[in-house]
């Protein structure tokens, strides 16, 4: 079979259910492996193999639904994976835990029709996830186990334990309470519920203490003093800004006047305003006075800018 055709096709079911030449799963699997060895995209080929396995499993399960012996065979196959997973957990190592997780996952992929067995596989996988500190995934597996078998007490305990690790104490209590409805005298659930409740009470107490400390640290008189200081600084800043703008306008007027005086003929008569009167004056003294005034404005401007830089802003105060 042409591997490129397989990689471009999207109808996986048609391969499995097609005629003998193109629908043989083993031939399809071999062609995909050949394409991978020839340099095809490995990730794409792996996805194709996984999808092929999924479709083949669904077809097998559909056949098994009509064949009691096939149903039993699937359950036995899932049971074997469960036993292998449990055996690997006896080694009590991280690598063994990962292998056990794979075995439990393989058991679930068999998709047998026994809900209790599937619940055990989900619950056992949740146990492994607890060992690997995959707490969110552990809770998810426990929920699936409980959906399939509400009497699976270990699933409630493991869900509560994972929730406790996630600091979700209320969720942990809820799982324990739900489990105790199935087994009211279960001591492990009672003990874990009490641990969740104790930790939840501690969390609530710390939050209350934090709020109390924040309220105690607040001083109305100090806050009022700070507010008054901020208001004073804001007014001071506004005055400085107004003074700065006024001096800048005054300097611009002097510059324009200076340019006008400089551009007039030397024999032209110049008058300077004194109150409501205008007095005749010489050119140079008038220019010198304007230059002196602009120098004073520049000096005042530098002083103003220096004070604005050093003074704290209202927000800093």
- Global pTM reads 0.51
Indicate whether 97 and 57 sit together in one domain.
no
pLDDT of residue 278: 67
Separation CA 52–CA 47 (nearest Å): 8
Domain annotation covers residue 216: no
More confident residue, 59 or 138: 138
Domain boundary among 25, 46, 66: 66
Whether residue 276 has pLDDT greater than 80: no
Domain annotation covers residue 178: yes
Domain annotation covers residue 317: no
Both structure tokens of 160: 């509560």
Beta-carbon contacts of 303 under 8 Å, excluding residues fewer than 6 positions away, are none
Indicate whether 77 and 36 sit together in one domain.
no
- Residue 112 has φ and ψ, to the nearest 5°, of -70, 165
Percentage of the chain lying above the pLDDT 90 cut: 41
Separation CA 153–CA 174 (nearest Å): 13
Number of domains within the chain: 3
The CATH number of whichever domain residue 92 belongs to comes to 1.25.40.10
Out of 15-24, 262-271, 305-314, least confident range: 15-24
Indicate whether 190 and 266 sit together in one domain.
no
- Average pLDDT score over residue span 156-161: 98
Residue 16 is part of which domain span?
A: 3-66
Q: What's the pLDDT tens digit per position in 278-292?
A: 667 777 787 788 888
- Average pLDDT score over residue span 20-41: 71
Both structure tokens of 130: 């607890």
Indicate whether 197 and 263 sit together in one domain.
no
Candidates 135, 205, 120, 208; CA nearest to 168 is 135
Q: Where are the beta strands (DSSP E) in 90-151?
A: none
Q: What's the pLDDT tens digit per position in 219-228?
A: 667 778 888 8
Domain annotation covers residue 75: yes
Domain annotation covers residue 315: no
Out of 68-82, 119-133, 271-285, 293-307, least confident range: 271-285
Strand, coil or helix: 196:
helix
Whether residue 117 has pLDDT greater than 60: yes
The CATH number of whichever domain residue 242 belongs to comes to 1.10.287.370
pLDDT of residue 64: 53
Top-ranked range on mean pLDDT: pick from 130-134, 213-217, 286-290: 130-134
């Amino acid at each position: 079979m042409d591997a490129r055709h397989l990689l471009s096709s999207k109808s996986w079911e048609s391969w499995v259910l097609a005629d003998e030449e193109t629908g043989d799963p083993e031939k399809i699997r071999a062609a995909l492996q050949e394409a991978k060895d020839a340099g095809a995209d490995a990730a794409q080929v792996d996805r194709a193999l996984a999808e092929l396995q999924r479709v083949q499993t669904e077809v097998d399960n559909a056949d098994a639904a009509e064949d009691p012996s096939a149903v039993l065979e699937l359950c036995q196959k899932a049971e074997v994976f469960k036993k292998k997973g449990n055996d690997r957990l006896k080694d009590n190592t991280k690598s063994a835990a990962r292998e056990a997780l794979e075995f439990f996952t393989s058991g679930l992929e068999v998709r047998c029709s026994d809900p209790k067995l599937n619940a055990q596989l989900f619950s056992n996988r949740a146990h492994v996830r607890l060992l690997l500190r995959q707490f969110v995934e552990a809770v998810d597996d426990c929920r699936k186990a409980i959906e399939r078998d509400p009497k699976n007490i270990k699933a409630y305990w493991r869900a509560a334990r994972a929730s406790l690790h996630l600091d979700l104490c209320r969720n942990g209590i809820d799982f324990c309470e739900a489990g105790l409805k199935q087994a009211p005298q279960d001591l492990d659930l009672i003990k874990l519920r009490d641990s969740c409740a104790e930790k939840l009470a501690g969390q609530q107490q710390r939050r209350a203490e934090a709020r109390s400390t924040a309220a105690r640290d607040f001083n109305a008189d100090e806050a009022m003093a700070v507010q008054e200081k901020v208001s004073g600084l804001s007014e001071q800043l506004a005055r400085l800004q107004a003074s700065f703008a006024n001096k800048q306008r005054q300097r611009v007027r002097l510059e324009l006047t200076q340019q006008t005086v400089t551009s007039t003929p030397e024999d032209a008569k110049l008058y300077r305003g004194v109150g409501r009167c205008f007095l005749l004056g010489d050119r140079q003294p008038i220019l010198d006075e304007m230059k002196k005034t602009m120098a004073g404005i520049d000096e005042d401007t530098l002083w103003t800018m220096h004070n604005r830089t050093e003074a704290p802003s209202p927000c800093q105060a």
